[in-house]
Structure 1
Amino acid sequence: MKLLDIDNNSKMPVYLQIAASIMAAVRDGHLVRDQQIPSINEMSEEYLLSRGTVEKAYKELRDKKVIISVKGKGYFINRTDINIPLRVLLLFNKISNYKKQVYNAFVKTLGDNVFIDLHIHHCNVQLFESLINNHLGDYDYYVIMPHFYDQKEKAVEIIKQIPPAQLILLDKDIPEINRPHAAIYQNFEKDIYEALYEALPSLKKYTSLVYVNPGIVPYPPEIMKGFRYFCRTQDFDFSIIEGIESNTPVKAGEAYIVIEETDLVNLVKNCRNKGLVIGKDVGIVSYNETLLKEILLDGITVISTDHEQMGITAARMIQEKRRELVKNPFKLILRNSL
């Protein structure tokens, strides 16, 4: 077993990284009480460290009573009841109601003995690069939502700097990483196709489908691709529009697939202003479930991944030290708006 995990680019002093590595090994059960650890000279030679640095780390561990020195024999683990919280860097692409669901479930499942540092990269590769470079080696796990729409190749190279055992991708996998990392992902293209196919009997009431593409906030292009594929394979007339404003024409016989909530609100207002009955004259399918959609207009039909389950699965992967690729559940909730 590799005892030390040293990152020379980290802002954490090397002696503290040595101490943290040994305490983490104790926490994880790799080192047990009375077990001997390498001498200062052995540690220095094996990891190409200065003797003074290792000495300083061992003093830190002795002061915490984690190790003891036995004259003529060496250093031994003295305590295994140390409380060392896991450190997790959580990197979201944006803050939204859905991301809050993921975050709350993640935090609740991990419990109290975990330090979680949340940052937002706003799909900006330069900001993302700065966040990773400034924190490499500072955390036990890096949980990342890798939604990038420009410079994707560069983002992949940045992510590859993170040791695979410490990396969990959230919401989207990146096969190009080509390393044994963990991911809890959506299959955006396939998910929307299968959800709309399940809603096919209700959608057949309408003559055409309209996909409302968010104008400002980027979403995975695979969602639109899956919508197009569904319409073509099921012989639906369809159109794609950029957002919905107060003056956007809405016609009877259309069913709308709406991604952003602002567009959903404007669509509902436009229907009311024109006297169109939602669920009869106009159909609405909204992307991503919220409590409000359950009661609005006696229920808005949604297609949605299970955001809470995504957070729970990520947390359990950390707790159980699993490295898997897990597709997150995606479902249709059929309500009165369709």
Structure 2
Amino acid sequence: MLSDKSEKISSHSRTPKYMQVVNLILEEIDQGKLKIGDRIPSINETSFDFLLSRDTVEKAYNELRDRGIITSVRGKGFYVSSTNMENKIKVLLLFNKLSSYKKYIYYSIVETLGDEARVDLQIHHYNMTLFENLLDRYLGEYHYYVVAPHFFDENSHPTTAYDLIKKIPKEKLLIIDRAVKDHENEFPGVYQDFSRDILEALETGISHLRKYQRLILVFPKGELYPWEIIDGFKRFCYFHNFKNLILDGIDDEPLYPGDSFIVLAETDLASIVKKSREQNLKLGQDIGVISYNETPLKEILAEGITTISTDFVHMGKSIAAQILGKEDKIPLKNPFKLYLRKSI
């Protein structure tokens, strides 16, 4: 199997070395050089031939075994058990909800994985008991588990569900959308840093915000938004000496010139746009508004609504790349930026 083996592994490729070994063995099978029942070299033999560490080769063999391509026989070695190249990677997404933004992530993952994987989706609704039940039901049936670790306890306080997440084998686990608090560097995946993101995004628009007398964060009570957003907003206002206020919604009170709003809920955004028209207040001059999370509609609403947002499509692509072995499985902070438009 495989001539000039060491030359087939590139140190400059973005594909991790273990996945290069996987791909080379799959190529041998596809070309008919390896057939069902054929023995492949041992981990030590492949490690020597490819000039790779034993751990790297073992990771490659585990990947092939998880896909059902090879099987191990105690005391004898590894054998080809399937030549079905359509044997797909099985991925289970465990999301907290299926919002329009989560749909962007979902479709980006599915599109990037293409025919190489089968993707299933389950929603845990922020509920740790439901999440635990899903793990009990599906653990061991998938090659990868992609978890959005947004959880709240029975008193609506944020919690990490760390002990439950640890049940998933580390080599099969990827987190998405948020890091596990106090364990940010433990789990690979792609996450938002909600506190840091809002602070740094607002700083990029600070020259536009200076014309307003007060910044108001509209953070709805009862909605399961990340509380770190409040922390980042308070830090920005403190560092840059902005008068500020936090509201849980846009009530029946009128808008006041000189205020600039940062809104999370679409309903609050709609209320501000409607009230500004009723009071003849011009967005971007009399009052300002920044909406959380980018959508195509906000680009054209009211001549353009400024947004602060992570890149959901990029998040999905990055997770898919880690699943496919095209990127290293490490914790990655997803890009977040301010999209400046006429509303401030």
TM normalised by structure 1 equals 0.77
- How far the C-alpha of 1:215 sits from its partner, in A, is 2.6
Aligned residue in 1 for 2:304: 299
- How far the C-alpha of 1:186 sits from its partner, in A, is 0.9
Q: Which of 202, 210, 213 is equivalent to 1:204?
A: 210
Aligned residue in 1 for 2:39: 35
Aligned residue in 2 for 1:309: 314
Amino acid at match of 2:176: L
Residue 307 of structure 2 aligns to a residue whose secondary structure is strand
Amino acid at match of 1:164: K
Q: Is residue 183 from structure 1 mapped to residue 186 from structure 2 by the alignment?
A: no
The question of whether the paired residues in 1 share the 8 Å contact of 2:91 and 2:143 is answered with yes
Amino acid at match of 2:329: R
Question: 1:75-154 to 2 correspondence within 5 Å?
Answer: 76-77=79-80, 80-150=83-153
Q: Is residue 174 from structure 1 mapped to residue 180 from structure 2 by the alignment?
A: yes
Q: Is residue 159 from structure 1 mapped to residue 160 from structure 2 by the alignment?
A: no
Query: Structure 2, unaligned stretches of length 5 or more?
Result: 1-20, 43-67
Q: Which of 177, 197, 200 is equivalent to 1:194?
A: 200
Per-residue CA distance 1:50-82 (angstroms, 9 max, x = gap):
xxxxxxxxxxxxxx9989xxxxx9995375344
Q: Which of 224, 236, 243 is equivalent to 2:242?
A: 236
- How far the C-alpha of 1:218 sits from its partner, in A, is 1.1
- How far the C-alpha of 1:249 sits from its partner, in A, is 3.0
Percent identical across equivalent pairs?
43
Amino acid at match of 2:111: K
The question of whether the paired residues in 1 share the 8 Å contact of 2:152 and 2:159 is answered with no
Query: Structure 1, unaligned stretches of length 5 or more?
Result: 1-24, 39-63, 68-72
The question of whether the paired residues in 2 share the 8 Å contact of 1:109 and 1:315 is answered with yes
Residue 130 of structure 2 aligns to a residue whose secondary structure is helix
Aligned residue in 2 for 1:265: 270
Number of equivalent positions: 285
Per-residue CA distance 1:251-309 (angstroms, 9 max, x = gap):
11000000111110111112112221111111001110000001111110011100000
Distance 1:282 1:163, change over 3 A: same
Distance 1:225 1:332, change over 3 A: same
- Tell me, in whole angstroms, the C-alpha distance in 2 between the residues paired with 1:314 and 1:330: 16
The question of whether the paired residues in 2 share the 8 Å contact of 1:258 and 1:286 is answered with yes
Aligned residue in 1 for 2:324: 319
Aligned residue in 2 for 1:255: 260
Residue 286 of structure 1 aligns to a residue whose secondary structure is strand
- Tell me, in whole angstroms, the C-alpha distance in 1 between the residues paired with 2:165 and 2:298: 36
Residue 115 of structure 2 aligns to a residue whose secondary structure is coil
Distance 1:26 1:240, change over 3 A: closer
Aligned residue in 2 for 1:283: 288
- Tell me, in whole angstroms, the C-alpha distance in 1 between the residues paired with 2:337 and 2:296: 15
The question of whether the paired residues in 2 share the 8 Å contact of 1:136 and 1:162 is answered with yes
Amino acid at match of 1:285: I
Question: 1:53-64 to 2 correspondence within 5 Å?
Answer: none
Distance 1:280 1:152, change over 3 A: closer
The question of whether the paired residues in 1 share the 8 Å contact of 2:185 and 2:331 is answered with no
The question of whether the paired residues in 2 share the 8 Å contact of 1:145 and 1:170 is answered with yes
TM normalised by structure 2 equals 0.76
Residue 292 of structure 1 aligns to a residue whose secondary structure is helix
Residue 111 of structure 1 aligns to a residue whose secondary structure is helix
Distance 1:78 1:174, change over 3 A: closer
Decide which moves more: 306-315 or 106-115: 106-115
The question of whether the paired residues in 2 share the 8 Å contact of 1:27 and 1:83 is answered with no
Amino acid at match of 1:252: P
Amino acid at match of 1:35: R
